[in-house]
Amino acid sequence: MDIQLEKKKGLKPKHYGYIALGVLLLFLGWKLLFANSVSTYRTEKERLSITKVSAGKFDDYITINGNVAPIATIYMDAYEGGRVAEKLIEEGSMVKKGDIILKLENMALYEQILASESNLALKQNDLRSTKLTFDSRQVEGRRNLATAEYDLQRLKRNYEQNQELYKDELISKETYLLSQENYELAKKQYEIVKLQTEQDDELRKTSLTGLDADLERMQKTLSMVYERLDHLNVRAPADGQLGFLDAEIGQSISQGERIGQINVLTDFKIEAEIDEHYIDRVKRDLSAILERNEKEYNLRLRKVYPEVRNGRFKVDLVFTDERPETIRAGQSYNIRLQLGESSDALLLPKGGFFQSTGGQWVFVVNPSGDEALKRNVRLGKQNSRYYEVLEGLQPGEKVITSNYDSFGTAERIVLK
């Protein structure tokens, strides 16, 4: 009778081989699947800019382009409107303060001057007539006052004499009373004449003062009109160069219209525009350097204009000591504007990649140089040559710094 053998349970040695083979196949499948899931872009290495990250001194400055301008520009606006009658100085000429540049004519202003002169003459005649009238009344009043005073004294003396005679019963009572009444009347008349004379004097004083004030105002008005007449001569407001002159003979100029400018050439400034990215770091009194003919000239940032236009804002810089001998208005210079102190840092050379990534990530080339992988980084300050690397890169690593726009959404670059 056959005996049934019981099979042993568990893994046999050959099973371990099958398991290992399965694991290897799964790993290869996973690698293949992972490799296919990463977006890849292939390109020739020679078409790219690849630079090395290095440790060094980071100079916190930016390079800006500026144009030389006069230290001050004084604009000339027409005080008075009129027609250009004569042009005495041409654009580009050197002028002294007070030199007549243009002569204007204004018929309406001439008529106004004649009217003011006529009104002043009438006012002067009125004042003269009023003074003569008051003088006559003053003389007449003083004459009447003197007469009244004389009559008062005479009648008073007569009254006092008759009073004594009446006491001695040498005159009649009627004669005494008549002298008394005449004296009382003379006293009242004297008071009236005196009061009238005082009132006339007060009236004369206040009236003439008012008339004198009116006359003075008219004279000031006439002098102001004469000044307006002088403003028809357009004069240079300062020493300098006549920068531009927008006026021709026969042209009508409106009051307040800008007709020219004077460039003050005692010194120069440099006008520059800076990207708005730096607006929080650019302050007054920052130092800058202008290099020309292998010589450096120091500048100081004098003014920051707050207005931003087209992503840029304007600044003015002035020389702190000497300036180039051949400097001329309109020349263009490259200037290094120092924003802060130099410091030790990791340095990544500048390139077009920043416009594509905003400095948030880069493609780092592997040691063999056959591929580059996307890596997040954090960049800090920048100057005209380098970015300051804060995180994500190590010294000696190589980075693609050319523009990334052609890479699309690729996360891996294969270099051929």
- Is the pLDDT higher at 205 or at 362? 362
Fold of 37-57+343-415: 2.40.420
Q: Tokens 């040498």 sit at which residue? A: 170
CATH of range 61-68+264-338; options 2.40.280.10, 3.20.20.70, 2.40.30.170, 1.20.1640.10: 2.40.30.170
Average pLDDT of every residue of the chain = 85
Amino acid letter for position 199: Q
CA dist., res. 353 & res. 130, Å (int): 93
Q: Residue range 394-401: average pLDDT?
A: 93
CA dist., res. 60 & res. 26, Å (int): 53
Return the pLDDT at 65.
92
Residue 237 near residue 282, CB atoms below 8 Å: no
Return the pLDDT at 339.
87
Tokens of 140: 């007449």
Give the confidence band of 140 by pLDDT, cuts at 50, 70, 90: confident
E strand or H helix that includes residue 132? helix 107-167
Contacting residues for 12 by C-beta, under 8 A, at least 6 apart = none
Tokens of 17: 């081989």
The residues that bridge with 150 in the sheet, in sequence order, are: none
Nearest of 264, 235, 266 to residue 101 by alpha carbon = 235
Q: Quick check: 69 pLDDT over 60?
A: yes
Tens digit of pLDDT for each residue in 280-328? 889 999 999 998 888 889 999 999 998 999 999 999 999 998 888 888 8
Tens digit of pLDDT for each residue in 85-128? 999 998 888 999 999 999 999 888 888 888 877 887 787 787 77
Return the pLDDT at 29.
61
Predicted TM-score (pTM) of the model is 0.51
Tens digit of pLDDT for each residue in 212-255? 777 787 778 778 777 878 888 899 988 888 988 888 898 998 88
The proportion of the chain whose per-residue pLDDT surpasses 70, expressed as a percent, equals: 93
Return the pLDDT at 1.
45
CA dist., res. 34 & res. 22, Å (int): 18
Tens digit of pLDDT for each residue in 153-182? 999 999 889 888 888 888 888 998 998 999
In this structure, what DSSP letter does residue 46 have? Answer: G
Return the pLDDT at 347.
94
E strand or H helix that includes residue 71? strand 61-77
Q: Residue range 68-95: average pLDDT?
A: 89
